[in-house]
Amino acid sequence: MYVLIVGGGKVGANVARALLRSGHEIAIVESRPSRFAMLEDEFEHMARYGDGTEIFVLEAAGIGRADVCIAVTGDDEDNIVICQVAREKFAVQSVIARVNDPRNQQHFDLLGIGPTVCSTTSILSLIEHEVPEHHLVHLLSLRRENLEIVEVVLTDESPVAGRRVGELELPAGSLLISILRDHAAIVPDGKTVLAPGDQILAIVEPAHAGELADLLTPARV
């Protein structure tokens, strides 16, 4: 596989190393002269100097035959443009973009650029996972489908403990997928009775995640 990496900072350089170790072919584009000199020492001809948002720089780096383009510069607007050019001008099958400022995620979503990776968002979801009583744990977000998979652990205080799934007024577009109880997974139906300690996986539209949390977990103090 030929992977074009635009942005030769720590993220780009480490992705390049990992791909090379797995036997892939890469090129890495960097526009800062001092950083480029370091990359050239390590990656030799695979390091390319230039502004990766310039079309001729991408062409010279072989974007025309790239299977994947990874935009990991420190500027979100640059990453957006790189991905648009890669996908729409050069028909690159797969693009991956780094989001530096999580507030810019909405721009990537608007323009249909993904998958995206944002370290701030990842850290926040790790914190959520470590503090499960907080509220819903967001396990996976399916942006294109506008759905997310969340996890909730029912406590003794949960207003739905002891109730049947069929009685719950789940928010529109949400569904309980499975219940992990005593180390066994149950696929719930309307007759399943919820119990404290149940670890519930649910699928929900992000806009309704708050309603689902209110339904399943006790009101926060």
- Residues that bind other proteins in the complex, under the rule CB under 8 A: 53-56, 75-78, 80-81, 84-85, 88-89, 101, 103-104, 106-107, 110-111
Q: CA distances (Å), 141 to each of 83, 94, 108, 199, 207, in order?
A: 20, 18, 14, 19, 12
Residue 48 Cβ vs other proteins, minimum distance, rounded to whole Å: 17
Closest to other proteins by CB, 107 vs 163, is: 107
Closest to other proteins by CB, 92 vs 194, is: 92
Tokens representing residue 62 in the block: 């072989």
Exposed / middle / buried, residue 91 (Cβ in 10 Å: 0-12, 13-18, 19+): exposed
Residue pair 161/195 in contact (Cβ under 8 Å)? The answer is yes
Q: Are strands 94-98 and 175-181 parallel, antiparallel or unpaired?
A: unpaired
Residue 205 Cβ vs other proteins, minimum distance, rounded to whole Å: 19
Residue 197 Cβ vs other proteins, minimum distance, rounded to whole Å: 41
Q: Are strands 116-117 and 94-98 parallel, antiparallel or unpaired?
A: parallel
As a whole number of angstroms, the distance between CA 90 and CA 205 comes to: 33
Residue 165 Cβ vs other proteins, minimum distance, rounded to whole Å: 38
Closest to other proteins by CB, 54 vs 128, is: 54
Residue 63 Cβ vs other proteins, minimum distance, rounded to whole Å: 13
Closest to other proteins by CB, 56 vs 130, is: 56
Closest to other proteins by CB, 101 vs 189, is: 101
Residue 38 Cβ vs other proteins, minimum distance, rounded to whole Å: 24
Closest to other proteins by CB, 63 vs 202, is: 63
Residues 6 or more apart in contact with residue 69 via CB below 8 angstroms = 3, 4, 6, 63, 82, 83, 86, 87, 92, 94, 95, 96
| Closest of 54, 11, 55 to residue 35, by C-alpha | 11
